[in-house]
Amino acid sequence: MWSNRPSSIRGAFLIAGTIRPNYNQWRTTISTLSLGDGGWVQIGNFCLFGASTLCIAIALKRLMRNGPGSRWGPHLLIIIGVGLILAGPFVTDPILGYPPTLPSNGSPSLHGTVHNIASLIVFIALPALSFVMARRFARDSAQGWAVYSIASGILIIVLVVWFFAAVGAATRHPDGGGVPPGLLERLFSIAGCCWLSLIAFRLLKQERLEGK
């Protein structure tokens, strides 16, 4: 079911990162799971997540016909879904020493550039969506959901900015300390997946109630 797909995706990349040989999921980015043997699993993961997000967008459009967020809510979800689908087949370039058999300091490839742009769009659109939905929830007197959405958006922004800074630091100083980029990426990915899953369940419940 589309409503629990974000949670399934979260579990998939955590499991894949644990069992992949020579892969340090606390240091290395999620996208590099698309490289090497078994890379098709993460490619499919991105595509399934994107497709389920598009399904959520359709449900949101049907339920939010007017009022705050009725336009930008579904549109942002479509942007996120398309970005995730593009991030699948357009795999990232090697980064932070993974895969160890490939150089990670070469010129960006076309597919790597498309992947990075698509990922950046998702990173921006997701917190934007949470703020749009917070406004909608506030209008509907769902204050708890509004606060949760705002808090999730702020947390994702902070972790994304920190993640990019950590990637830059790890690239300049491969043997240095600091917070591992992979950990930061997984934290904001989990935060985003949890929020999106709960929103999807809420939409499903609302859809069932309106269908009675």
Q: Tens digit of pLDDT for each residue in 21-61? A: 888 888 889 999 999 888 898 999 999 999 999 988 988 88
Which range marks the domain in which residue 30 is found? Answer: 2-211
Total domains present in the chain = 1
Tokens for 85?
A: 């689908």
**Which comes out higher in pLDDT, residue 59 or 85?**
85
- At residue 187 the predicted structure's pLDDT band, cuts being 50, 70 and 90, is very high
Of the candidates 55, 62, 73, which has an alpha carbon nearest to the alpha carbon of residue 208? Answer: 62
Q: Tens digit of pLDDT for each residue in 140-165? A: 888 999 999 999 999 999 999 999 99
How many Å apart are CA 49 and CA 87, to the nearest integer? 11
CB 203 within 8 A of CB 56: yes
pTM above 0.85, yes or no: yes
The 3-state DSSP class for residue 122 equals helix
How many Å apart are CA 64 and CA 136, to the nearest integer? 9
- At residue 1 the predicted structure's pLDDT band, cuts being 50, 70 and 90, is very low
How many Å apart are CA 73 and CA 196, to the nearest integer? 12
